[in-house]
Amino acid sequence: MILLEYEAKNIIASHNIAIPSGQIMAKDTVIVHAPFLPLVIKAQVPIGGRGKLGGIRVIDTGRDYEESVKKLWHTKLRNHLPSMLLLEEKLDIDREFYLSLLIDAASADILIVAHPSGGIEVEENDQDDFLKLPYVPGEENRIGESLAELFDLPDQVFVLQDMVRNLGQCFVKNDATLLEVNPLILTKSGDLVVADCKMTLDDAAAFRHPEWDFETPIESNNFVELDATGTIATVANGAGLAMATVDAVTSAGYRPINFLDVGGGASEDLILESFTNLQSYPNIKAIVINIFAGITRCDDVAKAIVAAKNRFPTLPPLYIRLTGTNFDEAATILNEAHIELQRDLDSCLKRLVKEVARG
């Protein structure tokens, strides 16, 4: 699960990492006058490289502010419209660094990766020039010294040691798989501040994080259009299950319209929104729903299905497999609405083949 920048920053700030001061602007609300100046407006979309795509605007005077806000609400960044805008104090940049923690798949260790020139051109750096160190709890002081040397910041050794300690704890405690700070900024007044942060959490750990409650924008990586002229839409949770569902539909002789992973913890609203998108495909004949509920709750899915049925009288037939958390409640809700459930994906497809022409 990829967090939006402001969500990631809220988490690291709670681990005593310095972030710029700022505020969030929710969709459809407009803060008419710049609440402070100068500021940076940042489109909250779950992708990197927003600077180059026009999703980051530095505002020095009040006159540019309103137009920029309006523009950003309507700027699609690689197919993502922002669900929020983040307004932040503009930092006076002296230098930009790159610093990240990630799970090294080969060793299963947490790895620290750093480079003295961060920012939007970080990919231009030679891969071999990145400093890579295993993150070992207890060794933060040594790691902080290495970073101070790499960044040529001898005065900031203590700050970097604390930062490694705090980022490391934050990473482990939140079951992150990636925590990328780019850029880490040295301001002209000598402060180290996290100007941008990307964080990915391990979906498999969701069960031990009841506090996880994030925006998962539907038009994200989780939705992939496969064939706009296809006939069968799919809704699943978890990338693996979503792929398996698409494959099964293909094997049964149909052209799937899409891949959709509604994610762990998908809410009723989010699921309803996905129906809104799907039912607009012109050749849609059926929707196959395959949910293995963990943190997502079957009853939320069931309520969304019933709501979708009510809202869209032309909704095509649904072939639904649900299992997991709150299944019994879900079965009752669907039963009362006369919506049939299938035992497993196989049963869904058998029914589909029986009732819907291939092609």
Please give the size of the binding site for ligand GDP, defined by CB under 6 A.
18
Pick what 119 binds: ligand GDP, Mn ion, none; C-beta below 5 to 8 Å, kind-dependent: ligand GDP
Work out how close the CB of 12 gets to ligand GDP at its nearest, in angstroms, rounded to a whole number. 14
**β-pairing, 318-324 with 286-293?**
parallel
178 is a site residue for ligand GDP (CB under 6 A): no
Instruction: List the one residue from 24, 31, 120, 239 that touches ligand GDP (CB under 6 A).
Output: 120
Closest to Mn ion by CB, 193 vs 333, is: 193
96 is a site residue for Mn ion (CB under 5 A): no
Count of beta carbons in the 10 Å neighbourhood of residue 306: 18
Pick what 58 binds: ligand GDP, Mn ion, none; C-beta below 5 to 8 Å, kind-dependent: ligand GDP
Work out how close the CB of 331 gets to Mn ion at its nearest, in angstroms, rounded to a whole number. 46
Instruction: List the one residue from 196, 203, 273, 300 that touches ligand GDP (CB under 6 A).
Output: 196
> What region does 152 belong to: left with phi over 0, alpha with psi -120 to 50, or beta?
left
Rounded to the nearest 10 degrees, the angle between the axes of helix 298-311 and helix 268-278 is 40
Residue labelled with tokens 């750093």: 114
∠ CA(292), CA(298), CA(299), 5° rounding? Answer: 175
Show contacts with Mn ion in window 153-212 (CB under 5 A): 182, 196
Work out how close the CB of 255 gets to ligand GDP at its nearest, in angstroms, rounded to a whole number. 35
91 and 187 in contact (C-beta within 8 Å)? Answer: yes
Work out how close the CB of 106 gets to ligand GDP at its nearest, in angstroms, rounded to a whole number. 26
Pick what 243 binds: Mn ion, ligand GDP, none; C-beta below 5 to 8 Å, kind-dependent: none
Work out how close the CB of 151 gets to ligand GDP at its nearest, in angstroms, rounded to a whole number. 16
CA distance 39 to 23: 11
Instruction: List the one residue from 34, 56, 278, 333 that touches ligand GDP (CB under 6 A).
Output: 56
Count of beta carbons in the 10 Å neighbourhood of residue 12: 22
CA distance 208 to 211: 9
**Cα-only R_g, the chain:** 23
Residue labelled with tokens 């994080």: 209
Report the interface residues with ligand GDP, using CB under 6 A: 40, 42, 48-51, 56, 58, 90-91, 93, 96, 119-120, 182-183, 195-196
